[in-house]
Amino acid sequence: MVTVRAPATSANLGSGFDVFGAALDRPADVVRVEKAERTTIEVTGYGAEFIPEDPDRNTVGAVAEALDAPAHIRIDKGIRPSSGLGSSGASAAAAALALNELYDRGLSRRELVPIAGKGEATVSGEVHLDNVAPALLGGFTVATDRDVTVVDADIPLVACLPEIAVSTRDARDVVPAGATMEQLIYTVGRAATLTTGMCRDDPRLVGKGMHDRLVTPARADLIAGYDGVREAALAAGATGVTVSGAGPGVIAACYPEDRQDIAAAMVNGFEDAGVDARAYQTKIGRGATLYRD
| Distance from C-alpha of 137 to C-alpha of 89, rounded to nearest angstrom | 12
Q: Is position 87 annotated in a ligand binding site?
A: yes
Q: Is position 15 annotated in a ligand binding site?
A: no
49 lies in the same domain as 140? yes
| pLDDT band per the 50, 70, 90 thresholds, residue 14 | very high
118 lies in the same domain as 216? no
Contact 162, 225 (CB under 8 A): yes
- Helices 59-66 and 87-102 cross at an angle (nearest 10°) of 30
14 lies in the same domain as 90? yes
**β-pairing verdict for 148-151 and 240-243:** unpaired
- Per-residue model confidence (pLDDT) at position 271: 97
Name the active-site residue from 3, 168, 195, 282: 168
3 included as an active-site residue = no
Q: State pTM to two decimals.
A: 0.95
Residue 47 has pLDDT above 90, yes or no: yes
> What CATH number is attached to the domain comprising 186?
3.30.70.890
Name the active-site residue from 120, 122, 242, 282: 120
Return mean pLDDT, the chain: 95
- Per-residue model confidence (pLDDT) at position 268: 98
Q: Is position 247 annotated in a ligand binding site?
A: no
- Per-residue model confidence (pLDDT) at position 177: 85
220 lies in the same domain as 123? no
53 lies in the same domain as 73? yes
Based on the structure, what is the number of domains in the chain? 2
The percent of residues in the chain predicted with pLDDT above 70, rounded, is 100
**Closest by CA position to 91, among listed 64, 69, 66:** 64
129 lies in the same domain as 218? no
257 included as an active-site residue = no
184 lies in the same domain as 272? yes
Q: Is position 90 annotated in a ligand binding site?
A: yes
Structural domain containing residue 212: 156-283
CB atoms closer than 10 angstroms to residue 173: 10
36 lies in the same domain as 125? yes
239 lies in the same domain as 108? no
258 lies in the same domain as 197? yes
Tens-digit pLDDT profile for residues 56-69: 999 999 999 999 99
Tens-digit pLDDT profile for residues 139-187: 999 999 889 999 999 999 999 999 998 777 778 888 888 889 999 999 9
Mean pLDDT of the region 271-280: 97
Contact 161, 80 (CB under 8 A): yes
- Per-residue model confidence (pLDDT) at position 122: 84
| pLDDT band per the 50, 70, 90 thresholds, residue 292 | confident
144 lies in the same domain as 179? no
- Per-residue model confidence (pLDDT) at position 8: 98
Q: Is position 86 annotated in a ligand binding site?
A: yes
24 lies in the same domain as 131? yes
Tens-digit pLDDT profile for residues 66-114: 999 999 999 999 999 989 999 999 999 999 999 999 999 999 999 999 9
> What CATH number is attached to the domain comprising 17?
3.30.230.10
Mean pLDDT of the region 200-207: 98
